[in-house]
Structure 1
Amino acid sequence: MIRDASIADLPAVAALYGREVVGGTASFEMDPPSLAEMTRRFEAVRRHDLPWLVAEIDGTFAGYAYLSPFRPRPAYRYGVEGSIYVDDAERGRGVGRALLTALIERARAMGLRHIMGAISDSTTSEASISLHHALGFRDAGVYRQVGWKFDRWLDVTLVQLDLSPDGHPPRTPGLDLTGGLA
């Protein structure tokens, strides 16, 4: 089940993200953010009326995903960046696909133009890269050896989904970027 996240979900969100910070390469942070910091990030995303979603399997938290503004300049107001985190125990069960599909549907309904993804550690993130490709994302480049974590250099693979490939002018005003980025 995919649903909108609430403040009550943030302890589980912070715990999952904290495990990724400490033991994984999906984040280049080195110290897990506090619950207060994760709450601040959640509220920043919601201030932009962007989705922050939670996945549950049999009523148990399985992962989360959200969209955030791509860049702070006004011309970028039709682009967002997607972030997805799935609990290790739930990987391979379609949670990531369900979350990413829901983000795409929400972004399209908002009249946005692009969803960008930055997938860390290209050498061990084949499943994430393949998922994005399967849902229509195209390669947009690679930042090579830009992160140093766990005593090695890490790449970041950039992907992009064009939600309006016909190129028509925007039908909505886009994101209000005056409130700052998440």
Structure 2
Amino acid sequence: MEIKIRPAVFADLDTILEIINHQILHSTSIYDYEPRDFETHKLWFEDKVTHDLPVLVAETENGTIGYATYGNFRHKIGYRFTVEHSVYVADQFLGKGIGKLLLAELIQVAKKQKYHTMIGVIDSENEGSIAFHKKYGFETVGVIKESGYKFDRWLSSVFMQLILE
């Protein structure tokens, strides 16, 4: 299976939305409760484009199978060199190295854009994502206990960081 990493285009939005909504409904990787609608998703994408924030997709001959992006960590001027990232891969393609390809390219884009540090906020139960990030140089820098609530239980957020420069 040949995998190409490229910038997302408008035609990718349906598949990205499917991936996001699957995670919302079936996991604690996104603390939202309700699936996103296309109009909201379109505005999210337009905002990324307007602010020169990447949305990358992993594509095979069968279409888009994952995506990665980052955005502002906090909306205060002192945080302008810090981004918070997300990497999501369709369930049927997990464990095939797609997340690695997406994250590697996302890190390169962040370096080119002169960001200093990249943050990942990961549910503490998501041991696979925590291990994945450690493998690629991220360090756990903190845990906010019981900071989220989903599926009738409290969830803790693990903050992981990679210094880019």
Q: Name the structure 2 match of 1:139.
A: 140
Match of 1:95 among 88, 95, 98: 98
Aligned residue number for residue 89 of structure 2: 86
What secondary structure does 1:72 align onto? coil
1:17 is displaced (CA, Å) by: 0.7
Describe how 1:57-72 pairs up with structure 2 within 5 A: 57-72=60-75
Report matched runs for 1:30-69 at 5 Å. 30-69=33-72
Using CA pairs under 8 Å that are at least 6 residues apart, name the structure with larger relative contact order, 1 or 2: 1
Amino acid at match of 1:40: L
> What's the secondary structure of 1:89's corresponding residue?
helix
* Equivalent residue letter for 1:101: A
TM-score, normalized by length of structure 1?
Answer: 0.86
Alignment-derived partner of residue 116 in structure 2: 113
Counterpart residue type for residue 43 of structure 2: R
* Counterpart-to-counterpart distance in 1, 2:119 and 2:48: 16
What is the CA-CA distance between 1:64 and the residue it aligns to? 0.6
Query: Unaligned 5+ residue runs, structure 1?
Result: 165-182
Kindly state the Cα deviation for residue 60 of structure 1 after the two structures are TM-superposed.
2.3
Identical positions, percent:
37
Note the alpha carbon deviations across 1:46-94, whole angstroms, 9 max, x for none. 2221110001233422111101011111111111110111100000001
Give SS of 2:57's match: strand
Paired letter, 2:157: V
Q: 1:8 is matched with which residue?
A: 11
Aligned residues: 162
What SS does the corresponding residue of 2:31 show, helix, strand or coil?
A: coil
Task: For residue 28 of structure 2, give the secondary structure of its aligned residue in structure 1.
Answer: coil
Which residue in 2 is equivalent to 1:29?
A: 32
- RMSD value, Cα: 1.0
Name stretches of at least 5 consecutive residues in structure 2 with no aligned partner.
none
Equivalence for 2:149: 148
Task: Tell me the distance in 1 between the aligned counterparts of 2:58 and 2:136.
Answer: 18
Structure 1 runs of 4+ aligned residues shifted over 4 Å read none
Distance 1:116 1:104 in 2: 11
Aligned mates of 1:13, 1:75 — CA distance in 2:
31
